[in-house]
Chain A
């Protein structure tokens, strides 16, 4: 089990680094899809089957295809060489590394985490998520439809020719 964790984590970190450092936008999208598939494996390891399926459908099925459509629509699929100056790039890497070290040091100092409830293998399944979603979180769920409508209207507004 722990071997699977390390394998999936290595795939994720490798693909995430390639997303940042690879130049061709199409390759970026492909590596991000690989990263997301590894993340779905992590969800299955965590016994969250519903989230794994939704993650595959929503992210790799919808969002990344949207990215690919835009890249091909705008004809960006050749490697465009727009890069920042060397100083900015080095400082970006240093900033990311320092941020990682600070967060790591901060989390190492935390107290030991105790499980709140006794272990229950049912919570990641559709019935467990559904009971919580349509019980406790019903109002946010309905309000998110308003968010979607406003996002749709906003995307159409931006997409209009003379806007």
Chain B
């Protein structure tokens, strides 16, 4: 029996967590922009402090800076601005960011509100909150390994990480930590939308690379509310079609992956932030916005709405084995099929 657990997991965990540590840390190091200039000093992050306090869930009532920033940024799809024209932006929906909120690893970027140096989870949280400013954002430090709890109402789980270990095991052989077991359970039962970063190894989702596999990807294949999110190098338009980012994992030949695979623009040239880690929060934000519009919709319905309204005409040489269902379109996901 093998154990896979998160970075910085409790000492009782198996050393196999090193594989995951390497996978996540290496990807982040490789894909973070080399912004090495003088950085703006950050004030202490109250949210992180709360997370350290023993509770694995930190409600985002004190998230600084970004939650007050509701401007459409240049790195966002033009679609977002169009959809933001009226109404709610995620109200009544909870996005739980399962990520790193406690390590000492920080890197720099700029989501259009000034250069910041933050932990990985702080970045993904900020991004989701900028897409869906009215959503409640929870921060779940993945180092705790404890089960992810759901809030009242619609829940969206953002997974901008992978669970890597030696390739060749079946998913059934994995002894999941309560954290991932709960996530997989929610995706299986359709009780939360699960937005999973596809991976940054330029391979098909779930494929092995250098003898390692992302078993969280594998475990989520075929689950009703799991969405794998790949990265485009730009936001696509019909005039300027987008291509898959050079690092992004793609859908591959498995039709179960293709049917639950979306792509979004990750414009790292504008933010200094690259990687499918920054693709998943966009889908999480979109899901929250859709959930705030259709307040009675189930996670399955919202997942299918996002998947079924993805665009293929904004992508260069659309191929489902690369782009899956296509580029997510918030405005189309919010629009009617017909009106009279």
- A joins B in a complex: no
